[in-house]
A and B are shown apart, each in its own frame.
Chain A
């Protein structure tokens, strides 16, 4: 870290603290918390793009899988739903998995030819119908159990922090499937495949009500920090808050948010240290060698495809973990909130602006771009107000411009990405 880098970090800190003084400490902590999570996501993407040059445009899917993990791990199980069809769903899923394994076995073990194709197709078609035969009634039964309140299987009822590594595992599994098929082909194929899997993960979460309640959302996820209302009812806390000159209600809200900040910061620091160690290890040097010249690296005996698969899974797992943390922070899973712009593209802007290939750069980018993202909307609105100030009230153009101010974000972020790619492709803190 040079003096300049430290200065950049100090600037971001100043921006956030400034928000605390000018707007409110609540807003500042909100920005800080999402900034911490964004920084972790950016670290994951930086591994894939910065270390290895892999282009992943499916970050949203991995983040969403992390969110799903939060529900699966932390929500209490719905006893009635499990009784109604839980076992049957599990059996169906196992049957489905067995079908795919059998098809893969047939494909690899049998001699190539028409028989192999027919056998594989036969296994898949038969397996699909058996799977649907077992699966469908179970889903209907589960979704019938108190549809307004639960209507899904629920989770395992474990502490919510456990969901974070589990989210990483889920994302890693999805990354393995994608990586196995698309890595080793030309580079854009990975981009297309990840774009697809991200959309499908979100569609699945919106439609598989038995798993994630779909668009009905799962609310009231357990928290790793105390509830505000409990703090306000705790005389000890109220005394301390008033002793420090705070209103107990505001103090409780700040206390909870600070709790999250500390948790996330610990995770971020741990991941950052590990990422730094990995980058400066022989493994990290090998990755960069592969990125810069695949042919030469292969000639030196490096298994390029296997290394790519490895780092693709690692990076996606980190994104999944960050996704689980984010859903924990929100306290609810809203599948319809996953937008590619917010969860794929914005993270890319963070990595590119911060400096791809440099972990500190990604962290800086995460904080800075998130800060801009939050503040661009009021700024855009202010700009539009300024532009339209001279126009007559009630003119359609004025109304249209004011209404559309919300879409300024897309434009600004696209513009920022193109400008940075063009004029400063190495970012704020370049790789060294």
Chain B
């Protein structure tokens, strides 16, 4: 019985908690991709770098606060800096829309041209991030490190296995819930949100009923800036900030959005958690859990790891391919063309 509990705690510690935090980060990222897809009708390849861009400003403001001696008590200072990051990122996205995307919207070009343009934007953003803050790994989490440490948990429960929950993981989940609740409230209850959904469902009908498309697009970019900056900051707090990692996040984020059904916000959240848990489960070495559950004679010799952690990307990619093969519109019905 104790063994079973120990196994459960080990599993929670190494798979459930990190998976949930990572899932929340992916879900927020995928929400941004799905919003752009729903309203502007293209896959935004610059999204990973938008996350990096927003996070960069959060880090810069955080450093400023730290230098000025302002802190947020036990919570990371970055949370205080978040609104500033969102504002700057939003302004930049609005400027990009004015300078770059608006022209192509007027021309009504094929979606693939938009994708290509977004690649150009992606490299400019990536270049700016490397230029300003550099390509190296940056850690900017401060404040209390743990909500529960492994040692406290062991002393509290008397189990062999400890359960550690990092502050950043707790913050990630709480923030994600708040952000998602706000987003759904906005989309379902406010006039602007409703007009956005109408525009996404049927552009011509929405235009006929007097919805201003430029306003819808503007609000979308602002929401995307907020989602991307929050997702990027949470990811950076939880792990670390590095321009190239954020670029690589693009694949799991797209996988989440497509698995859930592009254009469907609920699907993006489900997809995010599905991808995150698959990645963590497949690359976790189950040796510890197995030693507790199985009788001693069967104790495994190897790591009992399905795939090495380097292949995380391969997991999201395989899920993406499988979904594309069997259900191209995603698990929750998304838009097809």
Chain A residues with CB under 8 Å of chain B are: 53, 55, 57, 128, 136, 181-182, 185-189, 191-193, 195-197, 199-200, 203, 206-207, 340-341, 345, 348, 403-404, 407-411, 413-415, 417-418, 421-422
Question: Are A410 and B130 interface neighbours, CB within 8 A?
Answer: yes
- Which of the residues B313, B324, B328 comes within 8 Å of A203, measured between beta carbons? B313
Q: A200-B313, A404-B134, A418-B120 are in contact. Are A191 and B127 (CB under 8 A)?
A: no
Q: Which of B105-130 contact A (CB under 8 A)?
A: 110-113, 115-117, 119-124, 126-128, 130
Q: A181-B325, A191-B43, A196-B320 are in contact. Are A407 and B116 (CB under 8 A)?
A: no
- Which of the residues A53, A192, A348, A414 comes within 8 Å of B127, measured between beta carbons? A414
Taken together as a complex, chains A and B put the C-alpha atoms of A245 and B171 apart, in Å, by 73
Give chain A residues whose Cβ lies under 8 Å from the Cβ of B321.
181, 193
- Which of the residues B132, B254, B314, B336 comes within 8 Å of A192, measured between beta carbons? B254
Q: A187-B111, A414-B127 are in contact. Are A195 and B250 (CB under 8 A)?
A: yes
Question: Are B131 and A345 interface neighbours, CB within 8 A?
Answer: no
Q: A181-B325, A404-B134, A411-B124 are in contact. Are A196 and B317 (CB under 8 A)?
A: yes
CB closest residue in chain B, given A420: B120
Taken together as a complex, chains A and B put the C-alpha atoms of A408 and B248 apart, in Å, by 21
- Which of the residues B115, B120, B316, B337 comes within 8 Å of A414, measured between beta carbons? B120
Taken together as a complex, chains A and B put the C-alpha atoms of A57 and B122 apart, in Å, by 13
- Which of the residues A181, A193, A197, A410 comes within 8 Å of B126, measured between beta carbons? A410
Give chain A residues whose Cβ lies under 8 Å from the Cβ of B247.
340
Question: Are A203 and B116 interface neighbours, CB within 8 A?
Answer: no
Does B251 reach chain A (CB closer than 8 Å)? yes
Does B11 reach chain A (CB closer than 8 Å)? no
CB closest residue in chain B, given A421: B117
- Which of the residues B111, B116, B317, B325 comes within 8 Å of A197, measured between beta carbons? B317
Name the residue among A413, A418, A422 with the largest chain B CB count within 10 angstroms.
Answer: A418
Q: Which 7 pairs show the lowest CB-CB distances between chains A and B?
A: A410-B127, A414-B123, A411-B127, A414-B124, A188-B43, A196-B317, A407-B130
Does B258 reach chain A (CB closer than 8 Å)? yes
Does B45 reach chain A (CB closer than 8 Å)? yes
Give chain B residues whose Cβ lies under 8 Å from the Cβ of A136.
302
Question: Are A189 and B324 interface neighbours, CB within 8 A?
Answer: yes
CB distance from A275 to the nearest CB of B (A): 22
Question: Are B116 and A200 interface neighbours, CB within 8 A?
Answer: no
Taken together as a complex, chains A and B put the C-alpha atoms of A79 and B162 apart, in Å, by 48
Taken together as a complex, chains A and B put the C-alpha atoms of A203 and B247 apart, in Å, by 15
Does B103 reach chain A (CB closer than 8 Å)? yes
Task: Sample 29 A-B pairs with CB under 8 A, ordered by A number.
Answer: A57-B119, A181-B324, A186-B337, A187-B111, A189-B328, A191-B43, A191-B112, A191-B115, A192-B251, A192-B320, A193-B324, A195-B251, A196-B313, A196-B320, A197-B317, A199-B251, A199-B313, A207-B308, A207-B310, A207-B311, A404-B134, A410-B124, A411-B128, A413-B123, A414-B121, A414-B127, A415-B120, A421-B113, A421-B120
Does B57 reach chain A (CB closer than 8 Å)? no
Question: Are B112 and A188 interface neighbours, CB within 8 A?
Answer: yes
Taken together as a complex, chains A and B put the C-alpha atoms of A196 and B316 apart, in Å, by 9
CB distance from A114 to the nearest CB of B (A): 15
Does B173 reach chain A (CB closer than 8 Å)? no
Question: Are B251 and A185 interface neighbours, CB within 8 A?
Answer: no
- Which of the residues B119, B258, B311 comes within 8 Å of A189, measured between beta carbons? B258
CB closest residue in chain A, given B337: A186
Does B179 reach chain A (CB closer than 8 Å)? no
